[in-house]
Structure 1
Amino acid sequence: MTPFFIRTATPRDLQAISDLLRETWHATYDGIYGAARVSELTASWHSVDALEPRLGRLNSEFLVADDGERLDGMAFAAAGEGRAVVLHQLYVRPGCQRAGIGRSLLREIEGCFPQADRLRLEVEEANEPAIRFYRSAGFACVGSTANCCDDTSGIPAAVYEKRLT
């Protein structure tokens, strides 16, 4: 595997991030929701227009894993309520998973919010590889939500948290 580095996302990255998310979502969720629903969600949530406001959002980090030729992973997190940080997205290109990219992105996110005391995320309960990844990184299930990602998605998810030191 080509070495990669973690850096802040830029406007020039947005199409590549959108493409990465579409590829990753189809690989992960087609079997759960069907390709048509996944296409609908990625068109709404992962378009360049939907991603662009994250670049300038205060108290957030928008990161990519770059191997010099393409982006193989991305993460977006933002300050939540109190001293919590919410990890909204962490995705690694399917062919690059299990190569340390996800762990590197997660470590970088954890270090970007020194005031935070916990990191929170939502994960589809049928996404067993992601659940194994987060559990192995020290996350524990603390609840559930009926609407992952936004208030109207209708996608149930488990809520996980990790205490930060």
Structure 2
Amino acid sequence: MNASLDVATVAPFVVRRAERADLDALEALEGAFPGDRISRASFARFVANTATDVWVAQRDAEVIGDAVVVYRRGFVSARIYTLVVAEHARGTGVAKALLAHAERGARERGCVTLRLEVRDDNESAIALYRRSGYEVVGRTADYYEDGSAALRLRKRFVGADAHLLRVPYYAQTLDFTCGPAALLMAMRAVGWEGTIGQEQEVAIWREATTVYMLAGHGGTSAHGLAVAARRRGVRARVWVDTAAAAFVDSVRDAGKKAVIELAHRAFTSELASDPDAVRVGEFTVHDVVGALARGEVPVVLVSAARLHAERAPHWVVITGYDDDHLYVHDPHLPDGTERADGVHLALPRRDFAALSRYGRARHRAMVVLAPSP
């Protein structure tokens, strides 16, 4: 970390990294909000967490503003979780200085995008962000506790233009339903008009599950997800590195292996009537980009170990690309994060091949959904 960021003077105040001794002041600043306040416990976690930057502006002995930047493991995008300035210190450059430090900290971590949300009636904050190079990328109704809407803004630190598909976000509601949640997002993006919610999420899991995994509930395979999509009238094709059953090496018991293979045979049998439903072979980042360019939405199997430090297969939706990155909707939201932390996350193209493998067999799989012709 560049030492110049640890303490930087911007007269008549300084911007520095927060410490535990600042918790009282941080909590007091939050008290100025009518709702959506960050708790003292959350601030304590943020200050202690290496995946978070907490900046404070201090004048004499008083903390007059703060900014919290949250990072996601495995991605090169960050989010400004909050930026607040004490009322009596507004209009003196404090917000601009905090924003500058948030951006510099994100750049130092290698981030290419910084995102934030702001109340759509907060004209002074919106003006600051626009002057600082942020663009409005969307609006979310009823975002805040009082029912107010939020504008979603983003700033890119590189010049490449991103091609992003309009993919709605849906977070998985259960530990084992990343596949169904990802499929729901992708189906809606290609025109499926069914209801998105836990009932449909669980129904898809029941249809697509391999029944067993190393521990806990069974995962969902590419073949199973494609079957579930097709049953709902959505065009879906599978691209896998092997015709063998997925996840069979994740269990030791011969009986469980047999059940996984039985489920796989049922999926392949249902897909067999369409010669284009399954493709066996390696795929590359260029294949993913090609699908996106055609308006198709890839749902890709990745290793949760690289994203969430968990030994499990995980499904994500690829939502776009630029010259150097893919963009991802991740249905899993770690504790302390919210919807905005799972949307259009930037993933370096160079990391895709390693990320999109799972298990000892280095299994690779994706399901590509296409709009109706």
Q: Report what 1:9 is aligned to.
A: 18
Contact 1:122 1:148 in 2 (8 A): no
Cross-structure match for 2:83: 90
Q: Sort the Cα spacing of 1:85 and 1:153 in 2 relative to 1 into closer, same or farther, 3 A.
A: farther
**Which one has a bigger Cα radius of gyration?**
2
Q: How does 1:11-160 map to 2 (within 5 A)?
A: 11-23=20-32, 25=33, 38=34, 41=35, 45-80=37-72, 82-114=75-107, 115-146=110-141, 148=143, 155-160=148-153
Q: CA deviation at 1:153?
A: 7.8
Q: Secondary structure at the match of 1:14?
A: helix
Judge conservation of contact 1:139–1:161 (CA < 8 Å) in 2: yes
Report the residue type matching 1:59 in the other structure.
A
Deviation track 1:73-117 (CA, whole Å, cap 9, x = no partner) reads: 100001147321100111111111121111111111111123111
Counterpart code for 2:66? M
1:35 is aligned to none
Higher relative contact order (CA 8 A, sep 6+): 1
Separation of aligned partners in 1, 2:60 and 2:20 = 16
Spell out, residue by residue over 1:22-76, the C-alpha distance to the aligned partner (whole angstroms, 9 max, x if none). Answer: 22x2xxxxxxxxxxxx2xx35xx33322321111223221010011220111000
Identity, % of aligned positions: 27
Residue 18 of structure 2 contacts residue 54 of structure 2 at CA under 8 Å; is this kept in 1?
Answer: yes
Regions of 4+ moved over 4 Å: 152-155
The two structures have a TM-score, normalised by structure 2, of 0.36
Q: Relative to 1, partners in 2 of residues 1:17 and 1:141: Cα closer, same or farther, differing over 3 Å?
A: same
- Deviation (angstroms), 1:147: 5.7
Deviation at 1:154, TM superposition (A): 5.2
CA contact 2:106–2:114 (8 Å) conserved in 1 = no
Asked if the contact 1:110–1:119 (Cα under 8 Å) also holds between the matched residues in 2, the reply is yes
Q: CA RMSD in A?
A: 2.1
Q: Which amino acid aligns with 1:157?
A: A
Secondary structure at 1:134 match in 2: helix
Partner of 2:106, secondary structure, is coil
CA distance in 2, matches of 1:106, 1:141: 17
Counterpart of 2:79 in 1: which secondary structure? strand
User: Which AA in structure 1 matches 2:106?
Assistant: F
Q: Select the structure that is richer in helix.
A: 1
Supply the distance in 1 between the matched residues of 2:143 and 2:62 (Cα, whole angstroms): 28
